[in-house]
Amino acid sequence: MNKTVLITGASSGIGLNFSHKFAGSGHDVILVARSEGKLQTLSNEIENKYGVKTYVFTSDLSKPDASKKLFEEIKAQGIQVDILINNAGFGLFGEFEQTDLSKELDMIQVNITALTELSKYFGKEMVKSKKGQILNVASTAAFQPGPLMAVYYATKAYVLSFSEALANEWAPHGVNVTALCPGATKTGFSDAAELQSSKLFQSGVMSVEDVVEEGYKQMMTSTKTVIVPGMKNRILTQSIRFMPRKMVTSIVRKVQERV
């Protein structure tokens, strides 16, 4: 019997590639995103290509009741979630006094609150059954403050800290929790966050396929709690530990600025 993987933000970017990766490895997949049309197209493609079962759930995780409703709908269909991929998330570029507060509150809801709720709902069941895996998509942004994307960087710092704590709590119960921390990646994220012309994205990015390949391999074959894809990203996240915090913040500001 195939294991079942729940993937949020499954219709594009990292989530889309994880959907193909898990399905191609023989997992049934639960596809969650806002766009029903995209999910149905993806569902048909995956079932035809890999011969696994797919489930489609349309959900806008920026809505306060969405995570609980999603959990209840999945339970009502009698589906057991063996692996949870909390991938849904987005960012916003700009100086804090000028950015849209409503978008930032939606960001906190998706990047932090929904991720926390889904980890609680499905994680409790995993702990009870003494098995399961959760991968939370954080970012290299989690390792330092981020001027010009202050709220986004802060949300990813939460995801990293939260994941490391859960990994410690749930390891004795047979549940593995991992934080995937990609750097700049070639997805639709930069468009949504208005980052296309920033120095960060102009300086070179990883392909989404490489990020997912490394994330999947390490998640499934190692006991690592934190996965940072790409040698360049690993060097950067390690080197900032030895630099003054104020200097790191200044450097991030310069890198974030538009060309």
> What whole-number distance in Å separates Cα of residue 145 and Cα of residue 245?
9
Pairing of the two strands 132-137 and 175-180: parallel
Q: With the C-alpha atoms ordered 20, 165, 120, 144, is the resulting torsion angle positive or negative?
A: negative
156 annotated active-site: yes
> What whole-number distance in Å separates Cα of residue 97 and Cα of residue 87?
28
Which of 118, 120, 54, 62 is CA-nearest to residue 90? 62
> What whole-number distance in Å separates Cα of residue 60 and Cα of residue 32?
9
> What whole-number distance in Å separates Cα of residue 129 and Cα of residue 132?
8
**Which of the following is catalytic: 21, 50, 121, 156?**
156
186 annotated active-site: no
**Which of the following is catalytic: 50, 152, 158, 216?**
152
Total H helices, total E strands in the chain:
11, 9
Q: Which residues are catalytic?
A: 152, 156
